[in-house]
Amino acid sequence: MTLNYVLVVDGPAYGSQAARSAYQFALALLKAGHQLSRIFFYQDGVYNGSVLTAPASDEFDLVSAWQALAKQHNIELQTCVAAALRRGIVGEQEATLNALPSQNLAEGFEQAGLGGLAESLLTADRVIQF
């Protein structure tokens, strides 16, 4: 039986294991034939959407990995707009609305409110939080 999953990632790309574990879980569930429709980055998880992340050459580039996974499997990557703005992760629209000098949301990520997460809760068979 194929299930539709949504992941909620609260941990940053670096500094905790949460986001990396979420990524590995996503790979495993896709390999098992399940669907992953959306990954919602919340709290410090919004740091996964920063274009300014530059890991050392011998480190795993988790931001790029999320982007590649989303592109390959048509997965929505959403950062909580309120949590992101508090942490300096800003999309183009939010930069304009808040008169900020630039944006730094990585390609493939979009900013959404908690309504995006609530919608996911209604349509997913399973929601897993990391």
The residues that are catalytic are: 80
Q: Are 24 and 130 in contact (CB under 8 A)?
A: no
Q: What are phi and psi of 126, to 5 degrees?
A: -140, 140
- One-letter amino acid for residue 109 of the chain: F
The closest of 32, 31, 34, 33 to 5, measured between CA atoms, is 34
Q: Are 81 and 94 in contact (CB under 8 A)?
A: yes
Residue 30's alpha-carbon distances to 26, 89, 105, in angstroms, are 6, 28, 25
